[in-house]
Amino acid sequence: MSEGNNAIGESVEDFRLRARAWIKANLGPIQPFDLTQDCADDEEELVAVARDRALQRKLYDAGFAGLCFPKEYGGQGLTPEHNRAFNEELAGHEYPSRFTVPTFTPCATVIMEFGTPEQKAAHIPAILKGDEFWAQMLSEPGGGSDVAGATTSAVRDGDDWILNGAKVWTSRAWWHDWGIVLARTNWNVPKHQGLTVFLMRLQQPGVEIRRIERLNGESEACEEFMTDVRIPDSDRVGEIDGGWTVGQRWMFHERMGHNSPYVTQPVGLSHGRSEVTPVGIARQAGRLEDPAAQELIGESRALGLVANELQRRLASGAAAGKGNTDMSSVARLFRGMANVRQRTIAFDLAGAGAAGWTEEESDGVGVQGMEFLMRQVSCIGGGTTEISRNVIAERVLGMPREASGDKGVAFREVPRGPKRG
């Protein structure tokens, strides 16, 4: 990618001015559910989904969708710096938040990197026009950390594949259009060598989607049961049994998350559940003049700044082809830990008011006990921080690999599940 100028030679600064004028004239103020993506019920959620589709289409029609995606596939062919400028101008404005992760990344980025020209032509413009939401289907009931241990099976049948198995924790799959799925196509080789990636329509017979209610009462997480789902070979991504090559880049893009240059969203957002600023919480709690509270506010801000800059540096390094792919785990780890600390700070700042379980009970301080309990989510979603530590130790720092009993063993022979007597 070129630095500073786009394909038609528009500098980042000229582009910024053009984007600013359009955003001010066409986009309203940011909505609460842009930040949290929380809706009161399914009906409200579907309204928000329809609104995001329309907003994405609006960006597309104005030539501001998919800034870093190639023009050939409906994007703008611009640089990460243009995307950054757009995101800065977008601050405080509404945006199609549900398209960011996982639709733009890792789903669209995986299709861009490994898809056939036909797959790219079919899906990238549809995504950028707001017609397709994509889910990522990696985790399985048997465990999400050992991604290469997937047991969802795909068996060749003529020009098709027949999928059977289950995936879990797929965010909001119940209204998504498509998913990328990691499946096992060869059980006679070690686990990393027998995987293949497929594109699968979610809303079709044979795919049963169930909702999972979480501790906080939300049911955005889903599990999918695939029974004899027929997928044409033309919807296979990458080589047969080459799914781990795709999977590694998939997880790289997932770890880049919201700070990927392929994502359009206002800068300065952290996608946590508690989006009230530390200053706002301290003000509500009457603690703005309290030196201890000021220190906590400073710590929280510093964590946010460092997380953003770290991700930004890794993103520009990745775009320039510099650095180890696994470096994205450093940012993922930092973001997870920072998020937990920031939510703990929010809780500390709020004082006794935050002890209420729900919003109504919590004295209007902006955080509640339930959110405190949910703070750990940022260390789990997108792969746990423990796994990030393993990746950093083994693949970035070159420390010895953790012992594993399945290395070099045909996956069929690897013991799974409880022993039966």
Ligand X SMILES: Cc1cc2nc3c(=O)[nH]c(=O)nc-3n(C[C@H](O)[C@H](O)[C@H](O)COP(=O)(O)OP(=O)(O)OC[C@H]3O[C@@H](n4cnc5c(N)ncnc54)[C@H](O)[C@@H]3O)c2cc1C
Tokens of 197: 């990636």
Please report whether residue 136 would count as binding ligand X according to CB under 6 A: yes
Interface with ligand X (CB under 6 A), residue from 13, 24, 71, 145: 145
Q: How far is the CB of 215 from ligand X (least distance, A)?
A: 11
The piece of 25-33, 64-72, 78-86, 163-171 that touches ligand X (CB under 6 A) is: 163-171
Q: How far is the CB of 209 from ligand X (least distance, A)?
A: 12
d(CA 199, CA 195): 14
Please report whether residue 169 would count as binding ligand X according to CB under 6 A: yes
Interface with ligand X (CB under 6 A), residue from 279, 384, 406, 410: 384
For residue 102, cis peptide bond before it (omega within 30 degrees of 0): yes
Please report whether residue 138 would count as binding ligand X according to CB under 6 A: yes
Question: 40 or 215, CB closer to ligand X?
Answer: 215
Binding mask 340-379 for ligand X (x = CB under 6 A): -------------------------------------x--
Please report whether residue 137 would count as binding ligand X according to CB under 6 A: yes
Interface with ligand X (CB under 6 A), residue from 381, 391, 392, 411: 381
d(CA 110, CA 4): 25
User: Distance of CA 321 to CAs 1, 315, 325, 360, Å?
Assistant: 10, 10, 9, 49
Interface with ligand X (CB under 6 A), residue from 164, 390, 396, 409: 390
Interface with ligand X (CB under 6 A), residue from 14, 386, 407, 413: 386
Q: Phi/psi class of residue 31: alpha, beta or left (left: φ > 0; alpha: ψ in -120 to 50)?
A: beta
d(CA 68, CA 358): 41
Exposed/middle/buried for 365, CB within 10 Å: 0-12, 13-18, 19+?
buried
Q: Can you tell me whether residue 294 is helix, strand or coil?
A: helix
How far is residue 202 CA from its own chain's centroid?
Answer: 18
Total of chain residues touching ligand X, rule CB under 6 A: 20
Question: 169 or 262, CB closer to ligand X?
Answer: 169
Please report whether residue 387 would count as binding ligand X according to CB under 6 A: yes
Interface with ligand X (CB under 6 A), residue from 80, 115, 125, 144: 144
d(CA 54, CA 166): 32
Q: Provide the 10 A C-beta neighbour count for residue 241.
A: 16
Please report whether residue 248 would count as binding ligand X according to CB under 6 A: no
In the bound state, the residue with its beta carbon closest to ligand X is: 144
Instruction: Report the 3 state secondary structure along 32-53.
Output: HHHHHCCCCCHHHHHHHHHHHH
The piece of 132-140, 152-160, 295-303, 333-341 that touches ligand X (CB under 6 A) is: 132-140
**What residues from 217 to 246 belong to the interface with ligand X (CB under 6 A)?**
none
Question: 75 or 381, CB closer to ligand X?
Answer: 381
Tokens of 317: 């390094």
- Sequence-ordered alpha helix ranges (H) in 351-384: 369-373
Smallest CA-to-CA distance from 56 within 39, 35, 34, 77 is with 34
d(CA 334, CA 326): 14
Question: 6 or 103, CB closer to ligand X?
Answer: 103
Please report whether residue 329 would count as binding ligand X according to CB under 6 A: no
Tokens of 126: 């549809």
Please report whether residue 107 would count as binding ligand X according to CB under 6 A: no
Note the residues at the interface with ligand X (CB under 6 A).
102, 135-139, 143-145, 169-171, 377, 380-381, 383-384, 386-387, 390
